[in-house]
């Protein structure tokens, strides 16, 4: 009652319970409950004088509100309170409708009270020890709210990204479009920015995906990492992009013979035209050729298991050439073939011997021919043909390459030289016709000098004579009829022979005819 503070007023209140135990100008309600709610008004009295009733004022007594704990930034809500070590997070206690009131706050993580008394606090550079269930309550005067529900904060180690290439083909060609993607498992929607490297050089994109039209300079090892707030992931493992450039090597065989035989040594060579100064390394198929370290050539002593296709390509930094192919055919070890135009050297003449390896081969097959006489080395020629005037047992073989690869030896050919002595076949008695049951001697006679001879007979009779100077037929039969000729071979030199004698005809008749 303004202006009347000194007057001796007493007061009456509505509701009436406020007049007990005594009335006064003000009334203090301690521990207000809902039953204290309602309209309040008062009237003043001094002596017998009453004022009018004041306007009613309403007191509403409510239950204390239940706070809510929230996390900022917003992605922590989306991902169930997950953040990464090093990030900053704000934990906030919100009391619905209590924004203007003078609240103080109490906080717990798990069952342990923590210090802040304000409605929010910020954790800078969070660590795993900041993980836990956060709850809060508010106090105003002597009134406490209940505890909020628990909001969980999980502080995780930053994930390791993965770099992928799309398409993921093993061969990417110049001009192809390739998408490079940095993937962080399980957190695709989080607010990340990205850092990229090719080799040790930073490249510009900051998004998780970018597309390039490939050139040779785009080859390299790609890695990425991501940042969100102040937290960084570790660098991803390197994913390599190799660019196939439009260069095709040439695969050659050295020597370049049309046919390769088991046991020969050949060099498979990969040549890149115009790439002599470049630092190429080489990759071979089949893969066994990649061990030991690869070079542009590979030396093989071939077996049947080495036959088949061989491919190579060049590798320079992160560039690859096209594959290039060649086929290696491996044949069994060949046998030389020896031919003689005749087997006896005429008096004053010679015999031509020809050695060949796989006669259908071209002249580029690289063979040299090794000749042997009576088991000893005789001559080396390149064209495979020799003329001989000496008797002997001749053989040959082919050889080529370095180290020399030899064929199997040819079959042997016996070459005889012809002496001037000429044999003569005689019959004793000298009858050209005899009768069954009679006896006759067929003799080979060689005149001139004291030479000792071995004899050889040739006949078309059923029975062949022994290799002696004479053949005595006792009790002749029709089986002994035929032409007989002989030649001699010197005992002192088995490669010198006479020519064949003229033939002598022997006829064996069944019975004698009598002339009357």
**Which of 231 and 99 is assigned the larger pLDDT?**
231
CB 109 within 8 A of CB 70: no
The Cα–Cα gap between 261 and 207 comes to 60
Whether residue 275 is contained in a domain is answered as yes
Nearest to 34 by CA among 14, 15, 59, 61: 61
Residue 268 domain-assigned (yes or no): yes
Range of the domain at 478: 423-509
Whether residue 306 is contained in a domain is answered as: yes
400, pLDDT greater than 80: yes
Is pLDDT above 60 for 189? no
361, pLDDT greater than 60 = no
Query: Are 488 and 505 part of one and the same domain?
Result: yes
Q: 30 or 506: whose pLDDT is higher?
A: 506
- Indicate whether 152 and 168 sit together in one domain: no
Would 331 be classed as within a structural domain? no
Q: Are residues 167 and 100 in the same domain?
A: no
Domain boundary among 417, 440, 458: 417
Q: Are residues 294 and 272 in the same domain?
A: yes
- Shared-domain flag, residues 231 and 295: no
CB 484 within 8 A of CB 441: no
Measure Cα distances from 92 to 67, 89, 153, 506 in Å.
Answer: 10, 10, 12, 140
Q: What is the pLDDT of residues 462-471, one digit of tens each?
A: 888 888 999 9
Please say if the pLDDT value at position 504 is more than 90.
yes
3-state SS, residue 403: coil
Q: Verify that 73 and 150 share a domain, yes or no.
A: yes
What is d(CA 384, CA 339) in angstroms, rounded to the nearest whole number? 11
Q: Is the domain of 144 the same as that of 184?
A: no
Sign of CA dihedral 44, 46, 50, 52: negative
Looking at 255-363, which runs of residues are DSSP E strands?
260-261, 265-271, 281-285, 297-301, 308-316, 319-320, 324-328, 330-331, 337-340, 344-345, 351-356
Which pLDDT band, with edges at 50, 70 and 90, does 363 fall under? low
402-435 pLDDT per residue, tens: 889 999 999 999 999 988 888 999 999 988 788 9
Cα(436)–Cα(478) distance, integer angstroms? 7
pLDDT at site 184: 87
Give the CATH number of the domain where residue 237 resides.
Answer: 2.60.40.10
443 and 497 belong to one structural domain: yes
Q: How many domains does the chain have?
A: 6
| 3 is a domain residue | no
Angle at 29 between CA 23 and CA 33, to 5 degrees: 135
In a domain, 332, yes or no: no
d(CA 48, CA 35): 33
Instruction: Look at residues 346, 487, 495 and name the one whose alpha carbon lies nearest to residue 423.
Output: 487
Q: For the whole model, what pTM was predicted?
A: 0.55
User: Tell me, what's the pLDDT at 278?
Assistant: 67
149 and 77 both lie in a single domain: yes
Closest C-alpha to 480, from 437, 426, 512, 511: 437
How do residues 68-114 score in pLDDT, each as one tens digit?
999 888 666 656 778 888 888 899 999 887 666 688 999 999 888 88
- Residue 168's nearest CA partner among 250, 93, 60, 241 is 241
Q: Are residues 167 and 228 in the same domain?
A: yes
User: Per the omega criterion (within 30 degrees of 0), is the bond before 21 cis?
Assistant: yes
Q: Determine, yes or no, domain membership for 515.
A: no
Do 357 and 375 belong to one domain?
yes
Give the per-residue pLDDT at 206: 87
List of residues 6+ apart from 249 with CB closer than 8 A:
270, 271, 272, 273, 312, 313, 314, 321, 322, 324
From 417, 452, 472, the end of a domain falls on 417
Share of the chain above pLDDT 90, in %: 36
Instruction: Determine the Cα–Cα distance for residues 116 and 435; give it in Å rounded to an integer.
Output: 151
Same domain membership, residue 376 and residue 320: no
- Give the pLDDT of residue 279: 80
Any domain includes 5:
no
Task: Look at residues 130, 156, 182 and tell me which one is the last residue of a structural domain.
Answer: 156
Average pLDDT, the chain: 86
* pLDDT(3) > 70: no
In this prediction, residues 173-189 reach a mean pLDDT of: 84
Q: Decide: helix, strand or coil at residue 152.
A: strand
């Amino acid at each position: 009652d303004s202006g009347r503070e000194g007057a001796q007023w007493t007061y009456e209140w509505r509701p009436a319970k406020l007049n007990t135990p005594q009335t006064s100008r003000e009334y203090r309600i301690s521990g207000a409950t809902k039953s204290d709610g309602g309209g309040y008004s008062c009237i003043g009295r001094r002596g017998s004088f009453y004022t009018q009733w004041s306007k009613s004022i309403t007191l509403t007594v409510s239950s204390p509100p239940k706070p809510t704990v929230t996390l900022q930034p917003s992605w922590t809500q989306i991902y169930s309170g997950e953040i990464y070590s090093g990030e900053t997070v704000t934990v906030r206690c919100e009391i619905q409708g209590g924004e203007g009131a003078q609240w103080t706050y109490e906080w717990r993580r798990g069952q342990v009270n923590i210090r802040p008394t304000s409605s929010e606090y910020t954790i800078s550079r969070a660590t795993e020890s900041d993980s836990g269930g956060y709850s809060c309550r508010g106090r105003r005067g002597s009134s406490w709210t209940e505890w909020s529900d628990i909001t969980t904060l999980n502080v995780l180690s930053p994930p390791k990204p993965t770099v992928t290439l799309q398409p993921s083909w093993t061969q990417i060609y110049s001009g192809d479009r390739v998408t490079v993607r940095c993937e962080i498992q399980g957190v695709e929607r989080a607010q990340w920015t990205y850092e990229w490297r090719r080799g040790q050089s930073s490249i510009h994109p900051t998004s998780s995906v970018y597309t390039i039209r490939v050139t040779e300079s785009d080859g390299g090892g790609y890695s990425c990492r991501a940042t969100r707030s102040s937290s960084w992931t570790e660098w991803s493992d390197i994913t390599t992009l190799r660019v196939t450039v439009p260069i095709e090597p040439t695969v050659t065989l050295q020597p370049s013979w049309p046919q390769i035989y088991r046991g020969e040594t050949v060099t498979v060579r990969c040549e890149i035209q115009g790439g002599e100064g470049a630092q190429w390394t080489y990759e071979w198929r089949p893969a066994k050729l990649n061990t030991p370290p690869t070079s542009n050539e590979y030396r093989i002593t071939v077996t049947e298991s080495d036959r088949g296709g061989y491919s190579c390509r060049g590798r320079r930094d992160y560039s690859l050439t096209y594959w290039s192919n060649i086929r290696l055919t491996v044949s069994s070890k060949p046998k030389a073939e020896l031919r003689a135009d005749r087997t006896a050297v005429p008096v004053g003449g010679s015999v031509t011997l020809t050695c060949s390896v796989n006669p259908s081969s071209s002249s580029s097959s690289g063979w040299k021919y090794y000749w042997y006489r009576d088991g000893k080395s005789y001559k080396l020629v390149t064209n495979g043909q020799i003329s001989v005037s000496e008797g002997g047992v001749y053989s040959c073989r082919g050889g080529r390459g370095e180290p020399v690869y030899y064929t199997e030896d040819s079959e042997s050919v016996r070459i005889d030289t012809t002496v001037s002595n000429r044999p003569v076949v005689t019959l004793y008695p000298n009858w050209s016709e005899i009768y069954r049951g009679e006896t006759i001697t067929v003799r080979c006679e060689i005149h001139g000098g004291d030479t000792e001879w071995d004899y050889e007979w040739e006949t078309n009779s059923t029975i062949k004579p022994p290799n002696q100077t004479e053949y005595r037929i006792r009790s002749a039969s029709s089986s002994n009829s035929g032409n007989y000729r002989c030649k001699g071979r010197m005992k002192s030199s088995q490669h010198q022979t006479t020519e064949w004698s003229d033939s002598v005809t022997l006829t064996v008749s069944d019975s004698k005819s009598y002339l009357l």
